[in-house]
Amino acid sequence: MSQNVIELQNVKVEREGGTTFIYLNRPEKRNAMSPQLHLDMCEALEWAEEDDATKVVVLSGAGGNFCAGQDLKLYFRGTEDDPKARARARRAAHSWRWDKLSNFPKPTIAMVHGYCFGGGFTPVIACDFAIAADDATFGVSEVNWGIIPGGLVAWAITQVMNYRDAIYYSATGEQFSGQEAAAMKFVNKSVALQDLKPTVLELAQSLQAKSPAALRYTKEAIRAVRSMSREQAFDYLNAKSDALKYADPEGGRKKAMSQFLDDKTYKPGLGAYKR
Ligand code: COA
């Protein structure tokens, strides 16, 4: 049963159990991102971060499409002669699509169906997980209208695509399907459209069985070590492991060890400890 939780102009937020769905919500414009939508997304993510009932966030688009990229009319043309408005829109666009999402303390899943173009790539990549419909259509389409994949898109795609694919798709603007996105590991997997939401919910539920602190520290660690040397990573990971012992309000490590070694009630290799 889904529940509307916060009212915003261009973003829809619904909660199903501990899973909060945040939808870009301009379906008649294929969820192209206007300055207002960026501001709304900042608000929605800030809200979800503090909402205790939200355990996992799913990012998607309303009306059958994920996102048609930046709104050419409102984001680009509409702010061309207004540097302050342009700066405000750019700040909000960057803030939610990369800073807020990639540092989000709870697990995030991009659920992609229909079209996903240009600036819509950044939030897909910033989410921890991405699951697409087999027939979703992805395109780094900037070159088709005479611009580069700016606003971090070119940088973001090189985080998840190999060099050849990054150049190929951004220089040709050629589309690729959800199935192709899964084959190149741009998304974790693709499934038939009718299975998309159930698959995402299944992943969201399995994540909710884990220790929230261990999950948070795990994703922070994986992100951070990518730009570290081996020596830095070794030091950082030791410090991070120690920090988790103190920061985990559940005391998961102790509880799990006792369930395995003393009570013999679970196998860490096969699933999460009983919380
Ligand atoms: N910016 C502004 N408006 C957009 C938009 C965008 N990125 N994408 C779609 N829209 C608007 C259209 O202008 C149209 O508005 P209108 O009804 O007022 O004329 C409406 O959304 C529906 O779009 P339409 O093109 O008629 O739908 P479609 O289903 O035939 O095609 C797309 C959908 C996504 C293939 C097509 O709209 C498109 O190519 N959009 C641009 C995608 C892109 O390259 N984005 C990168 C930006 S960085």
Q: 69 CB less than 6 Å from ligand 1?
A: yes
Instruction: Name the band, by pLDDT with cuts 50, 70 and 90, for residue 2.
Output: low
Q: Please name the residues in contact with 244: beta carbons below 8 A apart, sequence gap of 6 or more.
A: 213, 214, 217, 253
Atom of ligand 1 minimally distant from the CA of 153: 48
pLDDT value of position 5: 82
50 CA to centre of ligand 1 in angstroms: 34
Model confidence pLDDT, tens digit, residues 62-92: 999 999 999 999 999 999 999 999 999 999 9
- Smallest CA-to-CA distance from 13 within 58, 52, 50, 49 is with 58
pLDDT of 1 over the 90 cut: no
Between CA 57 and CA 22 the distance in angstroms is 7
Q: Which residues contact 174 (CB under 8 A, 6 or more apart)?
A: 139, 168
Ligand 1 centroid from CA 29, angstroms = 6
Helix (H) or strand (E) holding 132: strand 129-133
Per-residue pLDDT, averaged over 255-259, amounts to: 95
Distance of alpha carbon 90 from alpha carbon 112, whole angstroms:
23
Residue 268: Cβ-neighbour burial (10 angstroms; 0-12, 13-18, 19+): exposed
Q: pLDDT digit string (tens) for 157-193? A: 999 999 999 999 999 999 999 999 999 999 999 999 9
Distance from the alpha carbon of residue 119 to the mean position of ligand 1, in angstroms: 13
221 lines ligand 1 (CB under 6 A): no
Is 142 near ligand 1, meaning CB less than 6 Å away?
A: yes
Q: Which helix (H) or strand (E) holds 260?
A: helix 252-261
178 lines ligand 1 (CB under 6 A): no
**Number of neighbours of residue 270 by Cβ within 10 angstroms:** 6
pLDDT in tens, 106-134: 999 999 999 999 999 999 999 999 999 99
Query: Would the pLDDT of 246 be above 70?
Result: yes
Q: How far is the CA of 8 from the centre of ligand 1 (A)?
A: 22
Name the residue with the closest Cα to ligand 1, atom 14: 29
Averaged pLDDT for residues 26-43: 98
Bridge partners of 70, per DSSP, are 33
Dump pLDDT digits (tens) for 192-239.
999 999 999 999 999 999 999 999 999 999 999 999 999 999 999 999
**How many angstroms separate the alpha carbon of residue 64 from the centre of ligand 1?**
14
Q: Is the confidence at residue 3, as pLDDT, over 80? A: no
Per-domain residue ranges of the chain? 3-208, 212-261
**Cα 144 to ligand 1 centroid, rounded to whole Å:** 13
68 lines ligand 1 (CB under 6 A): yes
- Dihedral sign for Cα 218, 221, 226, 229, please: negative
Distance CA 89, CA 154 (A): 19
- Which residues fall within 8 angstroms of residue 18, CB to CB, at 6 or more apart? 53, 54, 55, 56, 204, 208
- Find the 28 Cα to ligand 1 centroid distance in Å: 9
Token pair of 198, please? Answer: 């159930």
Tell me the pTM: 0.97
Q: What percent of the chain is modeled with pLDDT above 70?
A: 99
pLDDT in tens, 142-161: 999 999 999 999 999 999 99
Which CATH superfamily does the domain covering 3-208 fall into? Answer: 2-enoyl-CoA Hydratase; Chain A, domain 1 (3.90.226.10)
Residue nearest to atom 30 of ligand 1 (CA): 30
Best mutation site among 24, 28, 30 for ligand 1 pocket (most ligand atoms within 8 Å of CB): 30
